[in-house]
Amino acid sequence: MILPKTLITWLPLAVGNVAADPAPPAMNFLYSVNLTFNALTTLNIGNTSMGRRVAYPISGGTFVGPNMIGKALYGLDWGLSDFNGAFREDTVYYLQTDDGALIYVRANGIRKNVHHVFETSSVRYAWLNTAVGFAQGRQFKGGVGLDVWQMGI
């Protein structure tokens, strides 16, 4: 096989760059949230071809961060426990800040590592519309807690 001259010229540079460890992305703490589940309306869909699916209605909660504070209004976690035992979160919930802004949050991830994206019409929090969040979660009786960080700032 004959490699094009351009590829031969750039190949050593590409290999050299791969060998170096990249710098980790910068992260900025956004908020901690405790989401409460409504156990009375939890819907156990059962074992599907993908695993065990359960819908956990979010009935409320609170959140606090350095730039915003408020309450979680409601939402739903379409959880999936796959055949390898990993829990896959697929969640939508709404936050309301103490100054009245509404923020739509979409969260997806496996186990304790969850990716977040946000939408809001608030001018004050418009920066969230282009933010990418990363959260680490923990369970407590009746709900979950998430610490959410903005990535790549």
| Residue at 11 is within a domain | no
pLDDT tens, residue order, the chain (153 aa): 555 565 556 555 555 556 688 888 889 999 999 999 988 888 998 999 999 999 999 999 999 999 999 999 999 999 899 888 888 889 999 999 999 999 999 999 987 788 999 999 999 999 999 999 999 988 899 999 999 999 986
Answer yes or no: is 16 within a domain. Answer: no
Domain tally for the chain? 1
As a three-state string, the secondary structure of the chain is CCCCHHHHHHHHHHHHHHHCCCCCCCEEEEEEEEEEECHHHCEEEEECCCCEEEEEEEEEEEEECCCCEEEEEEEEEEEEECCCCCEEEEEEEEEEECCCCEEEEEEEEECCEEEEEEEECCCCCHHHHHCEEEEEEEEECCEEEEEEEEECC
Q: Is residue 13 part of a domain?
A: no
- Is 1 inside a domain boundary? no
pLDDT, position 15: 55
Q: Is residue 106 part of a domain?
A: yes
The pTM of the full predicted model, rounded to 2 decimals, is 0.81
Domain hosting 50: range is 23-151
Q: How far apart are CA 87 and CA 103, in angstroms?
A: 25
Instruction: Extract the tokens encoding 153.
Output: 């700032």
CATH number of the domain that residue 102 is part of:
2.40.160.20
